[in-house]
């Protein structure tokens, strides 16, 4: 059985036996994500509420799962498609 740790706007943090679960209460069962630490769950909620693009791939996927805003989801998807920048190499020698 999961215990409710906190409710922040429409997001609920649950403590299970193994991890923490962030659930969007306005969504359905697929609008949730799992975290090992409570601080990470709170960070994701903070990022999503501010509509920031997460840098971590795991956080990007988690944000896509819990949000309902399609425009914000598209921004995250576009950021994932950009990929990493090329590494700078100085070829002066």
Tens digit of pLDDT for each residue in 3-60?
999 999 999 999 999 999 999 999 888 899 999 999 999 999 999 999 999 999 999 9
pLDDT value at residue 72: 95
Is the pLDDT at 63 greater than 80? The verdict is yes
pLDDT value at residue 65: 94
Mean per-residue pLDDT, 79-83? 83
Q: How sure is the predictor about 93, in pLDDT bands with cuts at 50, 70 and 90?
A: low
What is the per-residue DSSP string for 54-91? Answer: PSSHHHHHHHHHH---HHHHHHHHHHHHH-PPPPP---
> pTM (2 decimals)?
0.82
Structure tokens at 33: 């994500």
């Amino acid at each position: 059985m999961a215990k409710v740790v906190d409710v922040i706007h429409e997001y609920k943090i649950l403590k299970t036996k193994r991890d923490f679960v962030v659930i969007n209460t306005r969504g359905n069962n697929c609008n949730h994500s799992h975290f090992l630490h409570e601080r990470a769950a709170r960070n994701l909620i903070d990022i999503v509420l501010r509509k920031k693009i997460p840098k971590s791939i795991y956080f990007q996927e988690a944000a896509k799962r819990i949000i309902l805003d399609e425009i914000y989801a598209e921004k995250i998807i576009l950021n994932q498609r950009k990929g990493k920048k090329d590494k700078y190499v100085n070829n002066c020698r």
